[in-house]
């Protein structure tokens, strides 16, 4: 037997104000769209803002459904919208923020597993890393230079 060690590296910022102006603006847009989340079951609202290489910003918020698997996370709403409207554009950066209606979220909230897999598909397809910034309602912001930091053993088309 062999042991395999995998390390990832993230940047950590104490608050949004430490980010560059363009990323602060992207996160502000994610915060605004987070308020549009339809979250009557979880009371957990997520907003995502994507910056494309054509300069467009695509927004998404989570949309729940009484038939739980039928809902969709903010990240996938945004990424699928980008793929539908701008199929040839590359996603450069993604800002994600999450807040609970029942308690304050002060830790960075990363994308769920399904969202990681969907982001991976786009990152692999475009052959360019996607910078991912994520935070709770307030507090620290984490930055990953690529989805590979969040999902080191990605499943992709080479396995099919």
Name the percent of the chain lying above pLDDT 90: 92
Identify the CATH homologous superfamily for domain 19-152: Cytidine Deaminase, domain 2 (3.40.140.10)
**pLDDT score of 131:** 98
Distance CA 15, CA 24 (A): 10
Positive or negative, the CA dihedral 99, 102, 107, 112 is negative
The per-residue DSSP string of 72-125 comes to B-HHHHHHHHHHHH-TTPPEEEEEEEEEESSS---S--PPPHHHHHHHHHHHHH
Distance CA 54, CA 29 (A): 17
Low-confidence ranges of the chain (pLDDT < 50): none
Q: What is the pTM of this model?
A: 0.95
**pLDDT score of 155:** 87
**Active-site residue numbers?**
75
């Amino acid at each position: 037997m062999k042991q395999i060690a995998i390390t990832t590296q993230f940047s950590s910022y104490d608050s949004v104000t430490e980010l560059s102006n363009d990323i602060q603006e992207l996160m502000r847009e994610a915060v605004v769209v987070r308020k549009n989340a339809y979250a009557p079951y979880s009371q957990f609202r997520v907003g995502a803002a994507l910056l494309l290489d054509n300069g467009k910003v695509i927004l998404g918020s989570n949309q729940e459904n009484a038939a739980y698997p039928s809902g969709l996370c903010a990240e996938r709403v945004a990424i699928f919208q980008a793929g539908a409207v701008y199929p040839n554009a590359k996603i450069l950066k993604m800002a994600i923020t999450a807040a609970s209606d029942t308690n304050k979220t002060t830790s960075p909230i990363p994308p769920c597993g399904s969202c990681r897999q969907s982001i991976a598909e786009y990152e692999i397809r475009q052959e360019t890393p996607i910078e991912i910034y994520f935070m709770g309602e307030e507090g620290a912001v984490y930055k990953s230079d690529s989805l590979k930091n969040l999902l080191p053993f990605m499943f992709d088309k080479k396995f099919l």
